[in-house]
Amino acid sequence: MNISMIKANIQKEIWEYKKIFLYVPVVIAAILILAPIISYALSEPMVFQHTGSFDNIPEEQINELFTKLSFGFIAILFAPFLVVAFAVQLYYFTACLFDERRDNSVLFWRSLPVSDAQSIGVKMLVGAIILPGAFLLAATIIAIIYMLFAAMGGVTLTTGQEINLWSAFFSGGWISNILSFWVSLVLFAVWLFPVYAWFMLASMYAKKAPFLWAVLPVVLVLVVESIMVYHFKVMDPFFSKMLFNYFDTSANIAAFHSGTANYSKAIINLNLDKISALGVLLGAGFMFAAHWLRVNRSH
């Protein structure tokens, strides 16, 4: 396998979709930086006075409090990046193969010494890992900026105090919480691999409106099954139950909130528990079908 060709293929994908790889996360980051600055500039100046409310609290309890606060803050900060990243991912997977066929550039790319399997594999890698990684990188940079400001505030607040809020602040597991989101990025990609592969298959098959080709068959099957189950009562729900069980995270979230205080480990386990061999095999089948269509029906 030629590593240089894979790198060139990845660079091609990023260049073709540079607006969503660069501009969108930068815009979100700019909003999260400018919003508090503008809010502070427009608000009345406030003078903070330390009342000593932390002085009688055990240090272990303060550390536990900052652990919860740090994870909650990072989760809230990363949320807009991850939500937008997922929407952009679905757009990319429905467009990456369809756009090549629409403008006939697929004929040019297939004339190069790059296999169809490698091209499709690179598109999956870019859409599932690199694209959300760009959003996660922007979120991490913003988190570091906020942490630096918070650290400076901690130094100011703890001048002459017995409790070192600065030390408690950084004992809250900021680094491990951020790293847990990066590890979860890979686990999340494996969990949703069949979804990504299905959208790529629709992108390769559809002559127009690939997103509808990805969504409507699933909706149609659910509607038909619902009629057969609840109107004619000739079968038990299968497809809808399978989808619900695969995407349902309520039990995992409940265990997450009631479990250990190690939030970074808990969020990794939450994503790890949703991975199934059947889902990976199903995704591999969709990828194979997309590859077959690219080889035999590229135009």
In tens, the pLDDT along 11-24 reads: 999 999 998 998 99
Ranking 212-216, 250-254, 290-294 by mean pLDDT, the lowest is 250-254
pLDDT confidence bin for 258, thresholds 50/70/90: low
pLDDT confidence bin for 51, thresholds 50/70/90: very low
- Yes or no: say if 194 and 282 are a contact pair by the CB < 8 Å rule: yes
- Nearest alpha-carbon partner for 290 in 54, 100, 135: 100
For the chain, which residues make up each domain, given as ranges?
Answer: 3-41+60-296
What's this model's pTM, rounded to 2 decimal places? Answer: 0.87
Task: For 5-34, give the secondary structure using H, E and C.
Answer: HHHHHHHHHHHHCHHHHHHHHHHHHHHHHH
Is residue 52 over pLDDT 80?
no
Question: How far, in Å, CA of 85 to CA of 130, rounded?
Answer: 11
Helix (H, G, I), strand (E, B) or coil at 50: coil
